[in-house]
Amino acid sequence: LSNITIAIDAMGGDYGCAVTLPAVVNALQEKPNVQFILVGDRKKIETFFYEKKLEFSERLRIHHAPEIVAMDEPPAQALRFKKNSSMRLAIDLVKEGEADACVSAGNTGALMVTARFVLKTLPGIDRPAICSQWPTMQANKFACILDLGANVDCTPEQLFQFAVMGTVLSAGINGIENPTVALLNIGSEDIKGNEQVKRAAELLEQCSALNYIGFIEGTDIFQAKADVVVCDGFVGNVALKASEGVAKLFRQVLVEEFKNNFLTKMSALMASYVLNRFRKRIDPARYNGATFLGLRGTVIKSHGGTNILGFQTAINQALLQVNNNVPERISAEVERILMAE
């Protein structure tokens, strides 16, 4: 593995430095060949390292950014008026070739709009898409799902491009040969679905370069029925958020039931043991890090409310994608498919 540089939006997310900096310090220990540029308020970052007695490293440098994009700031406003924000400068470093990727837990809309404006989309890609990996019933199998909210309405051609990008990511990151691709729909019968989905299905059926397997329903995502699941950003975002909602509900009910019923030391111990094992497999922090596919550069979006482990996972996603040359591979694949037609 070559030497990789990651730009970190140190101020982004619900907790800012309190999450991003410890995650970077942990990542430094785990990954000897990576260096980080911490983009944010120099004084705050330095104070944090000093107060928390975190060790500074040769593989760290601070890039001062005087502004912060607020979590609820309108994206267009952030793009226009926050040209010296930690988010913007982190993306600029990717554009200028100083960093191989950037990771931010900041405002999703602002990150998307800014990344698209600064980095531009790859040739043959109309719009970037947000993609992340979801756990399934099969312990080591993941579903790449996109778009998760970058585009509320999508043309059939855009859905087709998402399929290409998801295939590249799934093959590269998960090492899957010829990943299966499905369109998210409300029934597996051909007659169901809206016009865009039906027409996207026609495009995918005609493309021999992709391993298209047809429609799947929401339940099927978690049953590992496809390696890549394609949908528009409205549908994908609702599916993502509803899934998160159910996950939270389950965790809460489970904890309540344990608390209500097991008061002895022994049972509390057992409960925490099971809950920990359970969390290890389901914990959203372990699946954190969505990627903006289709850009000329790697941008990873961490969940805004994630913890240190979660931000580390997002950093690891960035490393995986850089090591796999995901943007370059998407370019090559788009060209190959368009040539074949």
**Positions in the binding site for a second copy (CB under 8 A):** 72, 74, 109, 135-137, 149, 152-153, 184, 186-187, 189, 191-195, 217-223, 231, 233-235, 237-250, 252-254, 257-258, 260-262, 267, 270-271, 273-274, 277-278, 281-282
Does residue 218 sit in helix, strand or coil? helix
- Cβ nearer to a second copy, comparing 35 with 223: 223
**Structure-token pair, residue 340:** 């074949």
At closest approach, how far in Å is the CB of 36 from a second copy?
30
Strand 180-184 with 101-104, pairing: unpaired
In the complex, minimum distance from the CB of residue 74 to a second copy, in angstroms, rounded to a whole number: 6
Least separation in angstroms between CB 317 and a second copy: 21
Q: Cβ closer to a second copy: 7 or 112?
A: 112
Q: Which is nearer to a second copy, 15 or 258 (CB)?
A: 258
- What single string gives the DSSP state of each residue in 223-291? TT--SEEE--HHHHHHHHHHHHHHHHHHHHHHHHHHHHH--SHHHHHHHHHHHHHHHHHH-GGGG--EE
Q: Which is nearer to a second copy, 50 or 273 (CB)?
A: 273
User: Least distance in Å: CB of 196 to a second copy?
Assistant: 10
User: From the CB of 3, what's the least distance to a second copy, in Å?
Assistant: 38
Closest CB to a second copy among residues 132, 331: 132
What distance in Å separates the CA atoms of residue 98 and residue 7, rounded to the nearest whole number?
A: 9
Both structure tokens of 152:
């509320």
The separation between the first and the last C-alpha atoms of the chain, rounded to the nearest angstrom, is 36
Whether 193 and 185 have beta carbons less than 8 Å apart is answered as yes
